């Protein structure tokens, strides 16, 4: 029997059960990683459980228990509740595992451009030697044909290709692209065609050089753009002394002095001074911002004007910029389905070349024509059709402040048909402000009422409190002296000013303290009707005023939603923890298809799983810690804006560093263009190589020229992919 909870991942099935022992199977158990021991320990702490053993391989758990009255439903519920705590990590591990693929080819970009250039130079030197050397009167035969300087040098240069080609036959029981190349090279040497062998080697290395250089250059450009670039910093030793030290010596808690024109090298908090800082490398915002004591700064940002002292909070790889760089560098390891298909398809085509070579030789008895079949393979061009395109797309996105963790997410973006938005900080700015002020006691002035409210909220960091305090500050209202503030969780806050008890909070908070609220029904209706958050203010036992707080929509969010529909998104949904009235108001204003309100983080994740179970390809857009489960569960999770949390960034598949929602439809457009480019590349690689095969089989093209055409297809594919580097994102 099967028990399900939280969608498919935590589904459980009882495999076997006897008295005091049960074996349960769950897909989640395969992806525990280093959490396995913690979970076993937690379960063993339950009073009626003796021991627990989890198998990651089989995805099963064996539980030995003493209380025979415990039902399998109880044990499944216990297991699911325990796993639920680690649900996001489990799901992330599943994604990582699913993206792992068996490598059947040499890894693209495994060699540096410098190494490849050395090979081309050496092969070119040998080719020149063979062109200009004197032909012996009698050709070499027997062992002399191979055991001579010239042939041994060629074999030495071709050794990595030959080794990998033979290795694929041994390890994978099938040939790869290097098997074809090594066969052509060895055949050329057997026939005494050293020039042909060297030409084939040079052409293939040149094509690989072009690919490696392109990919390295594009990734390097992003790394350079984000690089801190400072090897030394000024460390404060004491109040009056600073010392120049290596950035590697800096520890958490150290104080760093940074001046005008310098890059900040650590993530930290300003403890002294004020500066005008360019944060474009991190946030994407081109306008510098003023930062002063108590505010956070990031490594990689530049001080345009000012001098500050920073207390280091994150150093080395913990810095925001370091994590961003790692995201870009790791992106190519997460392969798209179409990329895996290309790798598999190209590998399956390789035996075709050997078959064609055999057929051509049997039909023509001409080894040269047969060799033409070996120097032309679909594999290289087809693999590069995807690899080069995805690499270019990832780097184009990064240059525009969009960090994509892998090519698989580009493909998923192109397939999406449903988008889910969080509300606060995503659709809205996440910066509530006082919109409506209604004084109910005519003996009290508006500013006096605001002063009372600010006194109660002065020590609170709640967004609504911040909105009230900002309004007070903007009006130049002085906050009166007051007693210690008392917070009533999920209700409100109270204090005492001039002997009067001031309460600020919800309707329920007022009613629980015996303060009547019924007389103001119409005023309340108007405020709630506008979708504002309603705040009650009382003095002693009398209601004295109402505040309406609103969180305005982001700039361009309505335009974003319209563009998304133009990108083929069929359904746009709002999922929020806010009250129903606020959700309804924003959904109506933005013309969103549907919404759900008052949701917990796990509720958002469940909604996504439900949509996926119906076949939907879901994008989740959020910014906060509460969005992390939903971001992880979606086909694509997008963390949006400079206010995003670290947790959201880690959980998301795509991070948009700019505060511009228009980049969401633009990155979807880039993904669709990338997939279109890959299909064009497929057509070119298959078409050109098929043409060369026909010409080679008929004897029109010698092996050397067949190799030229083959490598031309590789160059064409890479060149077509490079167009994505020039793709313009309209934001």
Enumerate the β-bridge partners of residue 18.
21
Q: Which of 422, 578, 627, 660 is catalytic?
A: 422
- Asked whether the beta carbons of 505 and 535 are under 8 A apart, the reply is yes
Q: What is the pLDDT of residue 645?
A: 56
Q: How far is CA 298 from CA 127, 266, 308, in A?
A: 54, 6, 13
Calpha distance 367→352 (Å, rounded): 17
Position 371 pLDDT exceeds 50 = yes
Confidence of residue 498 (pLDDT cuts 50, 70, 90): very high
- Winning range, highest mean pLDDT, from 96-100, 521-525, 556-560, 722-726: 556-560
| 278 has catalytic annotation | no
Q: What is the pLDDT of residue 542?
A: 94
- Winning range, highest mean pLDDT, from 290-294, 445-449, 462-466: 445-449
- For 184-216, the pLDDT digits (tens) are 677 777 767 787 778 778 767 776 776 676 556
Q: What are residue 139's phi and psi, to 5 degrees?
A: -65, 145
Map 244-264 to HEC letters.
Answer: EEEHHHCCCCCEEEECCCCEC
Calpha distance 633→654 (Å, rounded): 13
Residue with tokens 């549907």: 594
Q: What is the pLDDT of residue 104?
A: 37
Q: Which one, of 690, 104, 680, 689, lies nearest residue 347 by Cα?
A: 104
Structure tokens at 38: 């913690």
Question: What would the DSSP string read from start to end of 190-236?
Answer: HTT-HHHHHHHHHHHHHHHHHHHHHHHHHHHHHHHHH----SEEEEE
Position 3 pLDDT exceeds 70 = no
Calpha distance 237→251 (Å, rounded): 13
Query: Mean pLDDT score of the chain, rounded to an integer?
Result: 80
Q: How far is CA 266 from CA 235, 253, 282, 320, 321, in A?
A: 12, 11, 13, 9, 9
User: What distance lies between CA 604 and its chain's CA centroid?
Assistant: 20
Question: Quick one: CA dihedral 146, 150, 153, 157, positive or negative?
Answer: negative
Question: What would the DSSP string read from start to end of 685-711?
Answer: HHHHHHHHHHHHHTTSS-HHHHHHHHH
Cβ density class 447-476: b for 16+ within 10 Å, e for less? ebbbbbbbbbbbebeeebbbbbbebbeeee
Q: Which one, of 425, 416, 418, 417, lies nearest residue 576 by Cα?
A: 425
Position 377 pLDDT exceeds 60 = yes
- Winning range, highest mean pLDDT, from 96-105, 155-164, 314-323, 586-595: 586-595
Q: What is the pLDDT of residue 90?
A: 81
Q: What is the pLDDT of residue 108?
A: 43
- Asked whether the beta carbons of 543 and 536 are under 8 A apart, the reply is yes
Calpha distance 54→708 (Å, rounded): 56
Q: What is the pLDDT of residue 471?
A: 95
Q: What is the pLDDT of residue 106?
A: 41
Say which residues have a Cβ less than 8 Å from residue 545's Cβ, sequence separation at least 6: 437, 438, 439, 440, 441, 444, 449, 453, 536, 537
> Is the overall model pTM greater than 0.75, yes or no?
no
Compute the average pLDDT of residues 310-335: 62
Position 341 pLDDT exceeds 80 = no
Position 475 pLDDT exceeds 90 = yes
- Among 211-225, 360-374, 609-623, whose mean pLDDT is lowest? 211-225
Q: How far is CA 175 from CA 104, 351, 379, 382, in A?
A: 9, 7, 11, 16
Calpha distance 571→556 (Å, rounded): 19
Say which residues have a Cβ less than 8 Å from residue 266's Cβ, sequence separation at least 6: 233, 250, 256, 299, 310, 312, 313, 314, 315, 319
- Asked whether the beta carbons of 708 and 378 are under 8 A apart, the reply is no
Residue with tokens 């525990």: 32
Compute the average pLDDT of residues 430-449: 92
- For 45-92, the pLDDT digits (tens) are 999 999 999 998 899 999 999 887 888 898 998 998 888 888 767 866
49-55: strand order across its sheet: 2-3, 12-18, 21-26, 60-65, 49-55
Q: What is the pLDDT of residue 600?
A: 72
Calpha distance 172→166 (Å, rounded): 10
- Three-state SS at 570: coil
Q: What is the pLDDT of residue 535?
A: 94
DSSP E strands in 518-589: the ranges are 533-539, 542-550, 571-575
Torsion region of 425: left, alpha or beta (phi above 0 gives left; psi -120 to 50 gives alpha): left
N-to-C CA span, the chain: 52
Q: Which one, of 558, 410, 610, lies nearest residue 4 by Cα?
A: 610
Calpha distance 223→209 (Å, rounded): 21
Torsion region of 184: left, alpha or beta (phi above 0 gives left; psi -120 to 50 gives alpha): alpha
Compute the average pLDDT of residues 599-603: 75
Compute the average pLDDT of residues 658-666: 90
User: What distance lies between CA 417 and its chain's CA centroid?
Assistant: 19
Position 586 pLDDT exceeds 90 = no
Structure tokens at 476: 């130049």
Position 443 pLDDT exceeds 90 = yes
Q: In what helix (H) or strand (E) does residue 646 lie, and over which residues does it extend?
A: helix 646-651
Position 219 pLDDT exceeds 70 = no
Structure tokens at 11: 């589904």
Calpha distance 434→467 (Å, rounded): 6
Structure tokens at 530: 């506008």
Determine the angle formed by the axes of helices 446-457 and 463-474, rounding to 10 degrees. 140
**Count H helices, E strands: the chain?**
24, 25
- Three-state SS at 77: helix
Cβ density class 156-186: b for 16+ within 10 Å, e for less? ebbeebbebbeebeeeeeebbbbbbbbbbbb
Position 630 pLDDT exceeds 90 = no
Long-range pairs for 462-469 at CB < 8 Å and ≥24 separation? 463/430, 463/431, 463/432, 463/551, 464/432, 464/533, 464/535, 464/549, 465/493, 466/432, 467/432, 467/433, 467/434, 467/549, 468/434, 468/504, 468/535, 468/547, 468/549
Q: What is the pLDDT of residue 439?
A: 95
- For 89-139, the pLDDT digits (tens) are 786 677 667 655 433 344 444 567 788 888 889 888 888 888 877 656 555
């Amino acid at each position: 029997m099967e028990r399900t909870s939280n969608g498919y991942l935590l589904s459980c099935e009882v495999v076997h059960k006897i008295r005091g022992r049960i074996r349960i199977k769950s897909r989640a158990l395969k992806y525990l990683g280093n959490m396995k021991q913690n979970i076993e320990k937690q379960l063993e702490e339950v009073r009626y459980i003796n021991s627990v053993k989890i198998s990651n391989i089989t995805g099963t758990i064996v539980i030995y228990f003493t209380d025979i009255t415990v039902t399998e439903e109880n044990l499944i519920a216990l297991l699911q509740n325990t796993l639920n705590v680690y649900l996001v990590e489990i799901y992330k591990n599943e994604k990582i595992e699913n993206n792992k693929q068996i490598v059947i080819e040499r890894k693209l970009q495994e060699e540096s451009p410098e190494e490849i250039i050395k090979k081309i130079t050496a092969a070119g030197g040998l080719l020149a030697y063979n062109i200009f050397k004197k032909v012996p009167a009698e050709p070499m035969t027997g062992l002399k044909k191979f055991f001579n300087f010239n042939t041994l040098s060629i074999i030495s240069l071709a050794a990595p290709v030959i080794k990998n080609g033979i290795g694929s036959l041994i390890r994978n029981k099938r040939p790869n692209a290097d098997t074809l190349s090594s066969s052509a090279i060895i055949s050329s040497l057997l026939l005494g065609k050293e020039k042909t062998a060297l030409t084939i080697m040079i052409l293939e290395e040149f094509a690989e050089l072009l690919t490696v250089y392109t990919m390295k250059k594009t990734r390097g450009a992003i790394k350079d753009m984000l690089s801190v670039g400072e090897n030394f910093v000024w460390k404060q030793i004491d109040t009056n002394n600073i010392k120049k030290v290596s950035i590697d010596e800096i520890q958490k808690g150290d104080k760093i002095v940074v001046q005008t024109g310098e890059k900040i090298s650590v993530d930290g908090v300003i403890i002294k001074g004020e500066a005008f800082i360019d944060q474009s490398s991190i946030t994407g915002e081109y306008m510098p911002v003023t930062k002063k004591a108590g505010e956070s700064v990031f490594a990689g940002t530049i001080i345009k004007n000012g001098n500050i002292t920073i207390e280091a909070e994150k150093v080395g790889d913990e810095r925001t910029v370091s994590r961003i760089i790692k995201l870009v560098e790791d992106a190519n390891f997460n392969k798209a389905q179409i990329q895996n298909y290309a790798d598999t398809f190209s590998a399956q085509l390789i035996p075709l070349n050997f078959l064609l070579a055999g057929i051509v030789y049997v039909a023509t008895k001409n080894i040269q024509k047969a060799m033409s079949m070996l120097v032309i393979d679909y594999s290289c061009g087809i693999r590069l059709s995807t690899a080069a395109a995805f690499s270019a797309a990832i780097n184009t996105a990064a240059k525009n402040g969009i960090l994509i963790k892998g090519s698989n997410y580009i493909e998923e973006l192109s397939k999406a048909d449903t988008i889910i938005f969080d509300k606060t900080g995503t659709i809205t700015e996440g910066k509530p402000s006082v919109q409506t002020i209604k004084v109910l006691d005519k003996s009290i002035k508006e500013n006096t009422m605001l002063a009372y409210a600010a006194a109660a909220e002065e020590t609170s960091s709640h967004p609504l409190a911040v909105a009230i305090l900002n309004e007070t500050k903007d009006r130049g209202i002085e906050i009166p002296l007051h007693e210690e503030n008392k917070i009533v969780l999920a209700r409100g806050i109270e204090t005492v000013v001039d002997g009067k008890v001031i309460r600020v909070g919800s309707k329920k908070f007022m009613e629980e303290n015996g303060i009547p609220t019924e007389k103001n029904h119409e005023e309340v209706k108007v405020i709630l009707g506008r979708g504002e958050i309603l705040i009650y203010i009382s003095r002693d036992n009398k209601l004295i005023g109402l505040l309406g707080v609103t969180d305005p929509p982001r700039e361009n969010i309505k335009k974003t939603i319209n563009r998304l529909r133009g990108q083929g998104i069929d359904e746009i949904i709002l999922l929020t923890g806010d009250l129903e009235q606020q959700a309804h108001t924003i959904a109506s204003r933005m013309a969103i298809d549907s919404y759900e309100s008052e949701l917990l983080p796990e509720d958002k994740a469940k909604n996504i799983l439900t949509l996926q179970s119906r076949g939907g390809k879901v994008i989740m857009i959020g910014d906060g810690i509460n969005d992390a489960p939903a971001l992880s569960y979606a086909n694509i999770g997008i963390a949006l804006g400079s206010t995003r949390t670290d947790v959201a960034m880690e959980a998301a598949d795509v991070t948009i560093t700019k505060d511009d929602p228009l980049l969401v439809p633009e990155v979807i457009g880039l993904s669709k263009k990338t997939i279109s480019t890959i299909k064009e590349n497929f057509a070119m690689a298959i078409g050109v190589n098929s043409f060369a095969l026909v010409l080679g089989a008929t004897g029109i093209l010698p092996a050397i020229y067949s190799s030229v055409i083959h490598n031309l297809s590789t160059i064409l594919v890479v060149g077509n992919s490079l167009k994505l580097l020039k793709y313009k994102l309209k934001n």
